[in-house]
Amino acid sequence: MTTRFIAAALAASALASPLLAQQVAPPPVDPAVAALRDAALADNSAWDIVEGLTTEVGQRMAGTEAEARARTWSVAKLKAMGFQNVHIEPYRMPVWERGAETAEILAPFPQKLTLAALGNSGATPAGGITAEVVVFPTYNDLLAAPAGSLAGRIAYVGNAMQPTQDGSSYGAFGPARFVGPAVAAQKGAVAIVIRSIGTDHHRFPHTGTTTFPEGVKPIPAAALSVPDAEQLERIAARGKPMRMKLVLTPRRTGVRESGNVIAEVPGTDPNAGIVLVGGHLDSWDLGTGAIDDASGIAITAAAAKRIMDAGRPRRTIRVVWFGAEEVGGFGGAEYAKAHAQDRHATASESDFGADRIWRFEVNLPDSARAVGDRLQTALAPLGIVRGPGVAGDGTDIGPTLRLGVAGIDLNQSGQQYFDTHHTPDDTIDRIDPQALRQNVAAWTAMLAVVANAPEEIGSVKSPR
């Protein structure tokens, strides 16, 4: 070793010494928690829920007869698993249904395209519309377009979404779908097509909800599969005017019933608060909603059952299978309204597929800081690290968290999630059973720690 390397090593050692002195030994894992966690690595009940729901019900679009069948199926399933106080809390919501959806380039190079309407899309006449296409490489380019510049035209918006472990690319590129159609409408467009908000190269489009604010008339809006979007961009690069014929005939069918399915593991201390967990029961109508979100409701229910079978926890665990999440988060909003006076200790949801959990984050009061520390050691053997952020993720639990309820997030890897998100490829074969079991083990450990924590878990500042 050279003198230079020796000097560098000594300097590093000197810097590290104060840091080492600051380290505190992590709290030991309760043997009962470790036993529950490790036993859950052999869990099959989560797979059973996903398989049953996707096989016996299938697609579960919010407000439809299929979602109603899913609620009936869920009540029977949760009762059979041994949960208490199983019931449905219904509410009413506006319903949007898909119709015909076709597109073709008429000039300069005629060919058909594959696409899917976005939720809340407006409709073309039955015979469709034909118009010139204006290409915007990004959503920001659409924003920069002059007012009125899209009059009588179809807007196309591209993106360059890439897979990320934390799913942050969805937030970065999602606005093209979330609000892009409304922006195009305000600039005069007669319709809009976007490159799917996805990371795959299958010829499957990704649907999803878009929002038109009050006063903006919904225009026909659809997502092209990624290969079709890239084809459109190659055609545009030839520099010749492009004309498209678009047929989208979705319709609004009025106000119908949806609902949340609720089940409980009663606790021994009614004053300790409720540990709220769950996911959403509804799905889009293209696939069978296996990863979004049959897996989420399965993971959380399977973990809660494991705690229930081990004996009554201190805190009541409430499992909620929320309705109508995909089309606007109606279930979460209705739950928060109906249960605003309930004393919730924490809230958590699973709605990011079934890949392995790699990180957890918390938003706990100072009085319960030790709970987060115990979670860190309980989850570490599963390959889960503690993140530096503040928990508070989830459409369904968001309204409850905004009431000041503490949050705990268990983050799954997003590397593959957006390959199948909101596509016909959202089917059970996309789930890795071993990764699903790791999720159940993580949620079991979390519930074992939190539901039995002796600390008071009071209110916190909302993360949003």
Residues with active-site annotation: 325
For residue 79, the one-letter residue type is K
CA distances from 198 to 100, 104, 223 (A): 22, 21, 10
Nearest to 256 by CA among 323, 338, 339: 323
Report the C-alpha gap between 396 and 330 in whole angstroms: 8
Report the C-alpha gap between 75 and 192 in whole angstroms: 40
Q: What is the 3-state secondary structure (H, E, C) of 156-185?
A: EECCCCCCCCCCHHHHHHCHHHHCHHHHHH
Output the six-digit token pair for 265: 């593991």
Backbone φ and ψ of 238, nearest 5°? -70, -15
CA distances from 121 to 27, 98, 161, 327, 422 (A): 52, 9, 22, 12, 15
How many beta carbons lie within 10 A of that of residue 458, not counting itself? 16
115-117 and 221-224 as β-strands: parallel, antiparallel, unpaired? Answer: antiparallel
For residue 40, the one-letter residue type is A
243-248 and 129-136 as β-strands: parallel, antiparallel, unpaired? Answer: antiparallel
Element (H, E) at 245: strand 243-248
Beta bridge partners of 346: 275, 406
Element (H, E) at 51: helix 45-56
Half-sphere exposure of 108 (CA within 13 A, CB side): 9
For residue 95, the one-letter residue type is V
Report the C-alpha gap between 446 and 360 in whole angstroms: 10
Q: Is 254 left (phi over 0), alpha (psi -120 to 50) or beta?
A: left
Residues making up the chain, counted from first to last: 464
Task: Output the CA angle 63-65-66, nearest 5 degrees.
Answer: 95
Report the C-alpha gap between 59 and 285 in whole angstroms: 5
Report the C-alpha gap between 437 and 99 in whole angstroms: 38
Element (H, E) at 387: strand 385-390
